[in-house]
A and B are shown apart, each in its own frame.
Chain A
Amino acid sequence: MDLSKDLVAASSTPLVLAILAEGESYGYAIIKRVAELSGGHLHWTDGMLYPVLHRLERQGYVAAKWDASESGRKRKYYRITKEGQAELAAQRQQWKAVDDTLRGIWMKECTV
C-alpha cells in the first residue's frame, strides 16, 4: 500500500518533527527511521526530505548545523527547536482530531 502524494506531503512535517523530537539527526538517518516506523508503507523519494527540512529550518521549527560525521565528511545535523516542539504539539492535536473523526465513522460501520 502506497500513500497518496498529498497525504505524504501533509504528514511529512509532523513526522520529521516527531523524529527530531527523539534527538538530533540527519537526512539519511531520518529517512531510514521513517521507513522503519512505517514498516515500509510510507515511501519517500529520498531527495524530497531535504526541501522539507529546509522549509522547517526557515520556519524556525528546526535548527541545523554542519558537523563532521563518523566517516569524516561534513554532515548537516538537525535538531528540533522550542517553536518546533510547539508546532509538533499543535499538529499532533490536529492529526488526533482527524484520526478521532475517521475512527468514529469507521467504528460505526463495523458495528452496523
Chain B
Amino acid sequence: MTALSDQQLEGQIAEWRAYVRRRQALHRPDVEELEGHLRDQLAALTEAGLTGDEAFLVAVKRMGSLDELSREFARAHSERLWKQLVMAPEGEAPTQATRDELFVLFGLTFAAAVAVKLPALFGHPIEPNAEFPKFYARNASLFVFPMLTVYFLWKRGWDRVRALWFAMAFAAGAVLANVFPFASGSQTEMLTALHLPIALWLTVGFAYVGGKWFDSDGRMNFVRFSGELAIYYVLIALGGFVVTLFTFMMFRSIGMNPDWFVAGWLLPCGAAGAVLIGSWLVEAKQSVIENMAPVLTRIFTPLFTVLLLAFLATMAWTGNPINVKREVLIGFDLLLGVVVGLVLYAASARDPQAPPDFFDALQLALVVSALVVDGVALYSIVARISEFGFTPNRVAALGENIILLVNLMWSAWLYARFVSHRSSFAALERWQIAYLPVFSAWAAVVVLAFPPVFGYR
C-alpha cells in the first residue's frame, strides 16, 4: 500500500469516527473499540488482496447500520439517554482541572455566605420578627456578583489591570448603594435595590465573556448563560423551600423554634450561595444538556401571542379603556420585558442561517401585538400623567417602557424584513445583543442620578 492511499484511508477512518461520534448513545471508549474493530477488519481485508478503498467499504458495510447499532447501544446503556451532569463525562476520572474548579467554587460560595453574614457583626442583623433590613435589599447583588466575577476571571484568565476595573465597578456600586441618605420608606431606595443588580449584571457579563465582549458569540453566550442561570436558580430555590419546610417541621416537633436559623442563616446564605452553584451548573452542563430557556420560549411565545391578541380583540369589542391605576405602567413594563425576553431567547437558540419559518412569523405577531398593547397603555397613561405628578417610580417605569419600546419597534422592523426575505436573521440578533448594555446603562442612571434628583424621597 502506498503512503498516499494510507493517508486517504486514515482520512476516511477519521470521517467515519467523527460521524459515529455524533451518536448520543455511543461514548468515546465505544467509538474507540469500534474503530479498533474496523482497523482489524481492514488489515485482514487488505491482506486478502483488497485495495484500501474496497476494504474500507466492506468493513463499514459489515459493521452494520449505525442507526441500529446506536439503538442497541442505547438499550444496553439506557442511562446514556439521560445525560448525566454532575458526574465526570463518560465515566472518565475527574481531572485536576475539575477538582480545582470545584475547590474554587466552594471557596467562593462560602465567601458569599460569609459576606452575607458579615454585616450582622456591624449592626445589620436579619431577624425573623423584625422588618427585613433595607441594607440587605440595597446591597444584595454586592454579596454575590463579586464572587461570581472572581469565578469567571479565574476561569477565563485575568490580569491585575482587568481585575482592578472590575473591583472599581463593584466599589462604585457599593458606594452608591450606601452613601445616599434615603428617607424612610423612600421610593428611590427601592429603585436602587431593584436597579443596582441590573447595572452590575453587565459587569458580571464582562467577566463572563473574558474580555471578548465584541466577539461574535460572546454576548449571546452571556444571554444564554443568564437564562439558564435563572432557571437553575428557581430549581435550587424550590429545593431550598423543601429543606426549609422540613427544618420547621422537624425542629418544631421537638419543641424548638428554628425561626432565627431559617431567617438569619439558611435563607440569606442559601440565596447567595445558590447563585454561584447555579452558575457552575450552567457552565458544567453547557454541552451536556439541552438549554431550557429556548424550550420555554417555544412554549410561551404562542401563548403570549394569543393572550395579547385576545386582549386587543376584547378591548376593541367592548370599548373598555385601560383603567389607569397607580402602578399599571409597571405591569406593562413587565409585559414588554417578557416579550423582549421571548425574542432574545428565541434568537439565542436559532440558527441564523436558517430561512424564516412559521415560528418567526409568530414572533413577529407577538412583537407587533405587544407594541400595540403597550401603545394603547402608554396613550392612556400619558394622557393622565399630569394628574399623577412625577414620582421617582413613575419616571423610572416610563424610562424603562421607552427603552423596551424602542427595542421592540426596531425588532419588529427587522423581523418584518427577515420574514419577507429582505434581510438576514443576523441583523436582528446583532440588534438584540447590541442593545443589552442599554438596559444596564439605564439601571445605572436610576441608581446614580435618581436619589439626588428626587431628594431621596
Q: A: which residues have CB within 8 A of B?
A: 26-28, 31, 45-48, 50-52, 54-55, 58, 66, 69, 71, 73-76
- The answer to whether A48 touches B36 (Cβ under 8 A) is no
Complex: A66 Cα to B159 Cα, angstroms: 43
B residues near A51, Cβ cutoff 8 Å: 69, 72-73, 75-76
- Near A by CB (< 8 A), chain B positions 32-51 give 32-34, 36-37, 39-41, 43
Contact (Cβ within 8 A) A69 B36 = yes
Known: A28-B41, A48-B69, A54-B76. A76 touches B36 (CB 8 A): yes
Contacts of B72 in A (CB 8 A): 47-48, 51-52
Give the contacting residue for A28; candidates B30, B36, B64, B77; CB below 8 A: B36
User: Is A48 a contact partner of B33 (Cβ separation < 8 A)?
Assistant: no
Contact B41 A74 (CB under 8 A): no
The contact of A27 among B33, B62, B64, B75, by CB within 8 Å, is B33
User: Once the chains bind, are B34 and A74 in contact (CB under 8 Å)?
Assistant: no
> B63 near A: Cβ within 8 Å?
yes
Residues of A contacting B: mostly:
helix
Q: Number of B interface residues at 8 Å Cβ cutoff, please give it.
A: 23
Kindly provide the distance from the CB of B73 to the nearest chain A CB, expressed in whole angstroms: 5
Complex contacts, A28 vs chain B, CB 8 Å: 36-37, 40-41
Closest to B59 in A: A46
- The answer to whether B36 and A74 touch across the interface, beta carbons within 8 angstroms, is yes
Q: Which 10 A-B pairs have the closest CB atoms?
A: A45-B64, A51-B72, A28-B40, A47-B69, A55-B76, A47-B64, A51-B76, A47-B63, A54-B76, A46-B62
Verify if B290 is at the interface (C-beta below 8 Å from A). no
Q: What's the Cα separation between A38 and B123 when bound, in Å?
A: 85
Bound complex: CA of A71 vs CA of B39, how far in Å?
10
**B binding-site residues for A, Cβ under 8 Å:** 29-30, 32-34, 36-37, 39-41, 43, 62-66, 68-69, 72-73, 75-77
Residues on A with C-beta less than 8 A from B63 are 45-47
Q: How far is the CA of A69 from the CA of B39 in the complex (A)?
A: 12
CA distance A74 to B66 in the complex (A): 22
Shortest Cβ gap from B258 to chain A (Å): 45
Q: Nearest A residue to B36 by beta-carbon distance? A: A75
CB of A48 within 8 A of CB of B41, answer: no
Write the nearest CB–CB distance from B28 to chain A, whole angstroms. Answer: 12
A73 to chain B, nearest CB (A): 6
B68: chain A residues at CB < 8 Å are 45, 47-48
* Alpha-carbon distance between A71 and B72 when the two chains are bound, in angstroms: 29
Complex CA distance for A19 and B84, rounded to whole angstroms:
34
How far is B69's CA from A45's CA once the two chains are assembled, in angstroms? 9
> Which among A50, A51, A73 has the highest number of chain B CB atoms within 10 Å?
A51
Q: How far apart are the CA atoms of A58 and B65 in the complex, in Å? A: 23
Note all chain B residues with C-beta closer than 8 A to A55.
75-76
Rounded to whole Å, the gap between the CB of A34 and the closest CB of chain B is 13
